[in-house]
């Protein structure tokens, strides 16, 4: 097992910057603003031959007893309890603060070893930067710069010194699904309901989640990755730079996932923004499952109204399954998860060329593609050109003029025969060159005719005897 190292400290001391340095990534949002990170964020790191897990935590405010800061502190304490070692970050430029002393007193109560790191020390004399932090009584302060990498490797070598070398775990491909939607529709509550624990902060405030949180978990014998994403508002309402980066991370999470779970709020009207978010997942080619949340407190008339509104505004999601759930009460989660599995299997399915070709021929016999001028497109065979989403490539002649309506007909036929529920399907065409096309024929260089004497059967005859003079 890899050792787990938790990064702890008050807000804006550089924990996320150090996390990105250790994981050699840009997974954690970084900005000169306190309280940016709120949920626990896991990543993989390595020093020499020793791999490890590193946990980025929110700014630790141990004295608050309510609100979002209290939830952040609870997440941090849970990360400390799960960790094998703790790195306590302080700010070498700001110096020792009363809040650092409170955090140090709290960390002394944990059973894990605690290492004190004085960050933001670039350009400072190490002895002077570390001097006042001896007062915390946590041993020798290690002076580092997470932004420039100074002293980071030496610090991690010391932290991992007590742990034996662990074998690199195989990271085989497994299903990933992202929970997406507008702010405050219950995405984090749904994530916690699926995981069965308070893994991410679920708070009655729009914009609680700011980063995309990747969480590995097991259900039955299968490993999954669930991605909790930030809510996406209309572009005109996104003004803060932090929120813009959150939206970018959400879009990246959709592209990184195999399945997108679109969460709608049944107590609000189905908006154009819901359709926009679904459209982005569809454009990215991701399988889709729709969860209509907060269904438990609606009367029968409102439920019928919501269903009618969904059928009208989200008609382009006819391939997806809709589930009416209550994430807070945990209702409908099992059926929702079965649809996620089905959508993943459909997105990653393998289709044989003979079966695809037979289905194509039956579809053409039932309804042939319409003529374009004097030419009727001719379809010869089909094969699979990709997965997630499934791509079917149709070969033939004069296929450049196939209409969108006929393409939708083929998509519907393939989806029905192969039971591809929950995933978009793409049909592509590849036409062979027409040798009688004068425009294309004129572009090709003509071959020079062979000399008459070199043509087969036209060799110069051999004469025997005396030649005439």
Instruction: Specify the pLDDT at position 165.
Output: 74
What is the SS3 assignment for 88?
A: strand
Q: Does the annotation list 58 as a binding residue? A: yes
**pLDDT band for position 167 (50/70/90)?**
low
Q: How many CB atoms lie within 10 A of CB 255?
A: 14
Q: How many CB atoms lie within 10 A of CB 437?
A: 10
Q: Does the annotation list 258 as a binding residue? A: no
Instruction: Specify the pLDDT at position 121.
Output: 86
Tokens (6 digits) for 176:
């990933």
464 pLDDT above the threshold of 60: no
Q: Does the annotation list 48 as a binding residue? A: no
Burial, 222: exposed, middle or buried (Cβ in 10 Å; 0-12, 13-18, 19+)?
exposed
Edge-first strand order for the sheet with 259-265 is: 213-219, 222-228, 176-181, 259-265, 287-293, 321-324
Q: Does the annotation list 45 as a binding residue? A: no
Contact 133, 96 (CB under 8 A): yes
Contact 382, 357 (CB under 8 A): yes
Q: Does the annotation list 187 as a binding residue? A: yes
Q: Would the pTM of this model clear 0.75, i.e. be above it?
A: no
Q: Does the annotation list 183 as a binding residue? A: yes
Instruction: Specify the pLDDT at position 164.
Output: 80
Q: Does the annotation list 9 as a binding residue? A: yes
- Tens-place pLDDT, residues 57-102: 877 776 666 666 667 777 788 888 888 999 999 998 888 998 999 8
User: CA-CA distance, 179 to 291, in Å (whole number)?
Assistant: 10
Q: Cα-flanking dihedrals φ and ψ of residue 433, to 5°?
A: -70, 140
432 pLDDT above the threshold of 90: no
Q: Does the annotation list 184 as a binding residue? A: yes
Q: What is the maximum span of the chain, computed from C-alpha positions, in angstroms?
A: 124
Which has the closest alpha carbon to 391: 340, 432, 350? 350
H helical segments located in 196-331? 241-256, 272-283, 300-313
User: Where are the strands (E) in 192-286, listed by range?
Assistant: 213-219, 222-228, 259-265
Percent of the chain with pLDDT over 90: 31
Q: For the chain, give percent helix, strand, coil, nearest 5.
A: 35, 20, 45
Q: Does the annotation list 435 as a binding residue? A: no
Q: Does the annotation list 60 as a binding residue? A: yes
Q: Does the annotation list 295 as a binding residue? A: yes
Q: Does the annotation list 229 as a binding residue? A: yes
Tokens (6 digits) for 298:
């609606």
Mean residue pLDDT across the chain: 82
Q: Does the annotation list 192 as a binding residue? A: no
Instruction: Specify the pLDDT at position 29.
Output: 56
Distances (CA, A) of 182 to 28, 235, 252, 268, 278: 21, 12, 16, 11, 11
Q: Does the annotation list 460 as a binding residue? A: no
Q: Does the annotation list 228 as a binding residue? A: yes
Contact 391, 410 (CB under 8 A): no
- Tens-place pLDDT, residues 24-67: 887 665 555 554 565 677 888 888 888 888 888 877 776 666 66
Residue that the structure tokens 């036209």 belong to:
458
Q: Does the annotation list 122 as a binding residue? A: yes
Q: Does the annotation list 119 as a binding residue? A: yes
Q: Does the annotation list 15 as a binding residue? A: yes
Which has the closest alpha carbon to 7: 154, 151, 119? 119
Instruction: Specify the pLDDT at position 245.
Output: 64
Q: Does the annotation list 230 as a binding residue? A: yes
Average pLDDT over residues 413-422: 91
Average pLDDT over residues 268-279: 88
Distances (CA, A) of 214 to 218, 226, 390: 13, 6, 25
Q: Does the annotation list 179 as a binding residue? A: no
Instruction: Specify the pLDDT at position 289.
Output: 94
**pLDDT band for position 221 (50/70/90)?**
confident
Q: Does the annotation list 231 as a binding residue? A: yes
Instruction: Specify the pLDDT at position 59.
Output: 75
Tokens (6 digits) for 193:
């309901």
Domains and CATH numbers, the chain: 4-159 (3.40.50.300), 176-347 (3.40.50.300), 353-443 (3.30.300.20)
104 pLDDT above the threshold of 60: yes
Average pLDDT over residues 267-296: 90
Tokens (6 digits) for 409:
């007909």
């Amino acid at each position: 097992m890899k050792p787990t190292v938790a990064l702890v400290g008050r807000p804006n001391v550089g924990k996320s910057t150090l996390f990105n340095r250790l994981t050699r990534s840009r997974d954690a949002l970084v900005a000169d603003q306190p309280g940016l990170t709120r949920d626990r964020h896991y990543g993989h790191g390595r020093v020499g031959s020793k791999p490890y897990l590193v946990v980025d935590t929110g700014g630790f405010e141990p004295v608050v007893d309510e609100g979002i800061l209290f939830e952040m502190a609870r997440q941090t304490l849970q990360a400390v309890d799960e960790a094998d070692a703790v790195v306590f970050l302080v700010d070498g430029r700001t110096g020792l603060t009363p809040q650092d002393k409170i955090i140090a007193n709290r960390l002394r109560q944990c059973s894990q070893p605690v290492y004190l790191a004085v960050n933001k020390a670039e350009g400072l004399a190490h002895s002077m930067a570390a001097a006042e932090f001896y007062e915390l009584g946590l041993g020798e302060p290690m002076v580092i710069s997470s932004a420039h990498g100074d002293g980071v490797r030496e610090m991690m070598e010391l932290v991992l010194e007590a742990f034996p070398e662990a074998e690199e775990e195989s990271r085989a491909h497994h299903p990933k699904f992202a929970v997406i939607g507008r702010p405050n529709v219950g995405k984090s509550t749904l994530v916690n309901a699926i995981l069965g624990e308070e893994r991410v902060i679920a708070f009655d405030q729009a914009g609680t989640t700011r980063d995309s949180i990747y969480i590995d978990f097991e259900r039955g014998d299968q490993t999954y990755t669930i991605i909790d994403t930030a809510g996406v508002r209309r572009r005109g309402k996104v003004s803060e730079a932090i929120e813009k980066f959150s939206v970018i991370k959400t879009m990246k999470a959709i592209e990184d996932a195999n399945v997108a779970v679109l969460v709608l709020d049944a107590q609000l009207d189905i908006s154009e923004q819901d359709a926009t978010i679904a459209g982005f997942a569809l454009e990215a080619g991701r399988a889709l499952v729709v969860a209509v949340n907060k269904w438990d407190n609606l009367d029968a008339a409102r439920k019928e109204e919501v269903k009618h509104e969904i059928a009208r505004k989200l008609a382009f999601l006819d391939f997806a399954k809709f589930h009416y759930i209550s994430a807070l009460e945990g209702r409908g989660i099992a059926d929702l998860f079965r649809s996620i599995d089905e959508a993943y299997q459909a997105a990653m399915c393998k289709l044989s060329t003979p079966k695809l070709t037979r289905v194509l021929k039956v579809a053409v016999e039932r309804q042939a593609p319409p003529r374009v001028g004097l030419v009727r497109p001719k379809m010869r065979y089909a094969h699979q050109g990709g997965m997630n989403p499934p791509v079917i490539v149709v070969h033939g002649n004069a296929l450049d003029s196939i209409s969108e309506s006929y393409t939708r007909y083929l998509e519907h036929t393939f989806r029905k025969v192969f039971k591809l529920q929950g995933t978009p399907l793409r049909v592509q065409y590849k036409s062979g060159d027409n040798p009688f096309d004068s425009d294309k024929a004129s572009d090709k260089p003509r071959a020079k005719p062979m000399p008459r004497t070199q043509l087969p059967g036209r060799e110069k005859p051999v004469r025997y005897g005396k030649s005439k003079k």
